[in-house]
Amino acid sequence: MSGSLEAIMKPIKPKAVCLLAAAVMASGPRAEARHSPALDLARQLNEAFVEVADQVSPAVVVIDIRQRVKDKQTEDGGSFWDILPPELRRHFQNHGGAHPQWLEGEGSGLIISPDGYILTNNHVVEGADDIVVRLKDGRTFAGEVKGADPESDIAVVKIKATGLTPAKLGDSDATRVGEFVLAIGAPFELNDTVTVGHVSAKGRSFEQDADQDFIQTDAKILPGNSGGPLVNLYGEVIGINTMIEGLDTGIGFAVPINLAKRVKDHLINEGKFTRSWLGIQIHELRNDSDYLSLDGKLAPDAREGVVVEAILPGGPASKSDLRPGDVITAVDGKSVQTVRQLRDEIGEKKPGSATMLAVVRGKEHLTLKATPGLTPAVDELAVKASGEPANLGLTVKGLTKELAEQYGVDVVSGVIVTAVDQDSLADARGIRAGDVITEINRQRISTARQFRDAVKSADPKHGLMVYLVSEGASRFVILKDSGGN
């Protein structure tokens, strides 16, 4: 083997080069004349990509945002400027002084109506003080956020323009894994960039309680692509490009267009998207082999459905006859087999409207009535669910300027305790409303979701170390389940 490699790596002699050139010239006309069905197919596919890009690109826009730098104090006592990485500080110093007044960013968007409504990601425009939308023909317009939904990461921007050509929105439910797709946007400020790949998976989710159902693709998505379309070979938008799994991994994610369509109409008309909920924790029965393998009357008389893990105290389901261990198989007669299907069915219900659930409880088949309620904002969700890894008896919210003023605290990062259950673990250790929790088990906490996730991943039997600021003093407490070892 090594001898053949050496032969390959040796320089080609001039005589051999002449013979090779002669062979190529001699075979050239015959190669051109030969009909190749494989090449014909490849050329047709090539033309399909070109046609789709030409068809959709005029509806793709660049969204430039500017956010005013507020030189506020950080929790460590420094300023916003001080916490910027050195290379970023040098960049700003070389472009207009030591302390920039604005931070600038860029994303993509998609025209969805002739009168200037544009679909994009919430994270593209979140916190923006100034929005400028650039069309493919070079025109620019000031943009206004008409509504945003952090849960799905969808936002709608409006510009004062008419006669625009909107993109064709497809059906993401009909999208199949393996399909060719194009991602179009402005990665790294390179406008009108088109990349090609496939749908590599569907139904991806990374946060249990978020409204997520990502399409995964290997079409190249980079910073700046966010808000741009993922398009199939019919020229239909099947997703809004949203995030990547690290640079150069070939793994990107898009919000399914069916979810974006459901959200956008509410954002345009109401400025927000509201969801209903039952206040239950759930998982899919098909993935619960232990439950399915139970003997006798304990095993559910069903093979598909959604298992109720826990019922949150005070949630809508707590007022119904639903129990942990029940398997929900239908909502108002419509079959549900996955967590996503159940959440979508309940989420679409009007808060306060009676809903009938088909439930399997062991060998019993029941019809139970439940009344969905309005889903609380993420930062208002209490970490006190029955069946949670730890029932601390706390209700927390993300710390805002308004809440800090209300409770008279000077801390700028963390979650603020807004309620403490009597005789709970937190109550026993002297935690009170107005205390600010900054760390759990040495993990920095800045949002209610981070707080909840940290608690859920901890073991209360071994204790949780909670760092907090109480009446201006920093301290920590150990919250330990009294039933622990």
DSSP 460-485: TTT-EEEEEEETTEEEEEEE--TT--
Distance CA 236, CA 214 (A): 17
Q: Which of 226, 320, 379, 453 is catalytic?
A: 226
Pairing of strands 355-361, 334-335: unpaired
Q: What are residue 311's DSSP bridge partners? A: 280
- How would you write 142-189 as a 3-class SS string? ECEEEEEECCCCEEEEECCCCCCCCCEECCHHHCCCCCEEEEEECHHH
Cα atoms found within 13 Å of the Cα of residue 72, Cβ hemisphere only: 10
Tokens of residue 137, six digits: 């023909």
Supply the DSSP string of 5-19, one letter for each residue: HHHHHSPPPHHHHHH
Element (H, E) at 122: helix 122-125
Q: Quick check: is 266 catalytic?
A: no
Among candidate residues 382, 389, 451, 459, the one with its CA nearest the CA of residue 421: 382
Distance CA 239, CA 255 (A): 5
What is the per-residue DSSP string for 241-255? EEEESSTTSS-EEEE
Which residue among 64, 149, 153, 453 is the active-site one?
153
Distance CA 11, CA 6 (A): 10
Answer yes or no: 123 catalytic: yes
DSSP alpha helix (H) spans, 247-294? 257-270, 289-292
Contact of 324 with 359, CB cutoff 8 Å:
no
Distances (CA, A) of 62 to 196, 404, 479: 19, 37, 49
* Alpha helices by DSSP H, 197-238: none
DSSP string, 31-99: HHHS--HHHHHHHHHHHHHHHHHHHHGGGEEEEEEEEEPP-PBPTTS-BTGGGS-HHHHHHHHTTT-SS
Q: Which of 79, 113, 123, 421 is catalytic?
A: 123
Residue 45, CA distances (Å) to 37, 176, 326 in order: 12, 18, 50
Hey, which residues are catalytic here? 123, 153, 226
